[in-house]
Amino acid sequence: MKPSSWPKALRRGPMEMLACGVIALGIFMMLQPFALVLYTWSFLTTLLGTVMFMVVSKFPD
């Protein structure tokens, strides 16, 4: 099998971890009781992480 020509930072493993981090951040923002602005942006953050995960799961290993 030919090695991938993609940069290491853009391969599936690191990008999936980043997407999972964005999802976790969005859930944290949704569950915290301190700042309304964080709660306001929590859904969009979680949605962005989910879409990002779906896209990067198609990246090469």
Residue ranges in the chain modelled with pLDDT below 50? none
Whether the model clears a pTM of 0.85, i.e. scores above it, the answer is yes
- Please name the residue ranges forming H helices in the chain: 12-31, 36-56
pLDDT at residue 1, as a whole number: 58
The Cα-based distances of 13 to 17, 47, 49, 54, 60 in angstroms read: 6, 20, 15, 13, 9
Distance, in Å, from the CA atom of 21 to the CA atom of 41, rounded to the nearest integer, reads 15
